[in-house]
Amino acid sequence: MTEIPKSHPRYESLLARERIAQGVKDGITSTQGLIAQGRGEAFDYLIGERTTPSAKAATDVAAAVLLFAKRPALSVNGNVAALVPEGMVELSKVLNATLEVNLFHRSEERVGKIASLLRRLGAEKVLGEDPDETIPGLDHARAKATRGAIFDADVVLIPLEDGDRCEALVRMGKKVIAIDLNPLSRTSRMATVTIVDNIVRAVPNLISFAKDLSATTPRDLQSIFHGYDNKVILRQCVDEIQSHLTKQFQ
Ligand code: PTJ
């Protein structure tokens, strides 16, 4: 990887680029993943490369929903595996959740490499290499799902999703938590809870909020979710972007 000095004003962003580029070289990330990262960066710029108050609120609710889940599952794709593999493993342990490798541009080789990486980092429950079910209503590889993980989960975390699977999972009656820097995407609009934040900030926040809430009773966790309205959060996010942009030229 290119050596990036910590003093560089765009250190975090350049580091993420390096991770994605390395992911492609290692056969973990798809080449299309480079484009996805670029799109994410553009939205992150508009957001101000920070965790906004609306993202913080959504992350707190997401942590509560994942904690009161009976069978939580965390979906991992090639970009997630390149950017936050250690974080996803830690999150799975804090939540007692199963990780499932699920790819849009699926190749069995890439699924295997990602699953091995997660196991090497200490993950105990990794599925996705032998999917035994299909998510109804999807015609692409993302439909592949596994019993014991995404297929029969009651709550699914889908970071950096590319479209209609979110809607299909919601149709199955699941609560879906999305991490997506684009507040306008189909995924962001369809999810039960959308965290509009960079995954490199959102996953550490989720881990820390889940740890903080770990002693909370299921009843109190449910009350954190009660009355949550994702549209209100997305509207707040767009307002935050607008006021951030306005401030740039004052
Ligand atoms: O590994 P695969 O084959 O499953 O493919 C994964 C990608 C990400 C390539 C695939 O799912 C895809 O094409 O996704 P999209 O639609 O290009 O990107 C999904 C969403 O993630 C977009 O709305 C991006 O803005 C957003 N995004 C990109 N990078 C980040 C991000 N959101 C949070 N953090 C990021 N770092």
CATH code at position 152: 3.40.50.12640
| Separation of CA 103 and ligand 1 centre (Å) | 11
Given a cut of 80, whether residue 167 has pLDDT beyond it is: yes
Task: Concatenate the DSSP letters of all residues of 172-202 into one string.
Answer: TT-EEEEE-S-TTSHHHHHSSEEE-S-HHHH
Residue 144 domain flag: yes
Q: What is the mean pLDDT of the chain?
A: 96
CB distance 33 to ligand 1 below 6 Å: yes
CA 131 to chain centre: 20
Q: Whose CA is nearest to atom 34 of ligand 1?
A: 198
Beta strands in the chain (DSSP E): 72-76, 98-101, 126-127, 133-134, 144-145, 155-159, 175-179, 193-195
Residue 127 domain flag: yes
Distance CA 200, CA 44 (A): 11
Residue 173 domain flag: yes
Mean pLDDT within 17-26? 97
State the CB neighbour count (10 A cutoff) for residue 48. Answer: 15
Q: Which pLDDT does position 204 carry in this prediction?
A: 98
Q: What are the tens digits of pLDDT across the range 22-80?
A: 999 999 999 999 999 999 999 999 999 999 999 999 999 999 999 999 999 999 999 99
Q: What are the tens digits of pLDDT across the range 72-113?
A: 999 999 999 999 999 999 999 999 999 999 999 999 999 999
Residue 42 domain flag: no
| Separation of CA 82 and ligand 1 centre (Å) | 12
- Which of 5-19, 107-121, 183-197 has the weakest average pLDDT? 5-19
- Tell me the pTM: 0.97
Which amino acid, residue 110? Answer: R
Q: How confident is the model at residue 11 (pLDDT cuts 50, 70, 90)?
A: confident
Q: How confident is the model at residue 147 (pLDDT cuts 50, 70, 90)?
A: very high
Instruction: Tell me which of 109, 162, 195 to substitute to probe ligand 1's pocket, judged by most ligand atoms within 8 Å of the beta carbon.
Output: 162
Residue 35 domain flag: no
Distance CA 116, CA 209 (A): 28
| Separation of CA 79 and ligand 1 centre (Å) | 7
Residue 8 domain flag: no
CB distance 140 to ligand 1 below 6 Å: no
Q: Which pLDDT does position 163 carry in this prediction?
A: 74
Per DSSP, the three-state class of 231 is helix
Which DSSP helix (H) or strand (E) runs through 244? helix 230-248
Given a cut of 90, whether residue 3 has pLDDT beyond it is: no
Residue 118 domain flag: yes
Q: Which pLDDT does position 162 carry in this prediction?
A: 75
Mean pLDDT within 145-171? 95
Given a cut of 80, whether residue 2 has pLDDT beyond it is: no
State the CB neighbour count (10 A cutoff) for residue 219. Answer: 8
Given a cut of 80, whether residue 164 has pLDDT beyond it is: yes
Residue 122 domain flag: yes
Give the total number of structural domains in the chain.
Answer: 1
The one-character DSSP state at 214 is T
Domain range for residue 169? 53-242
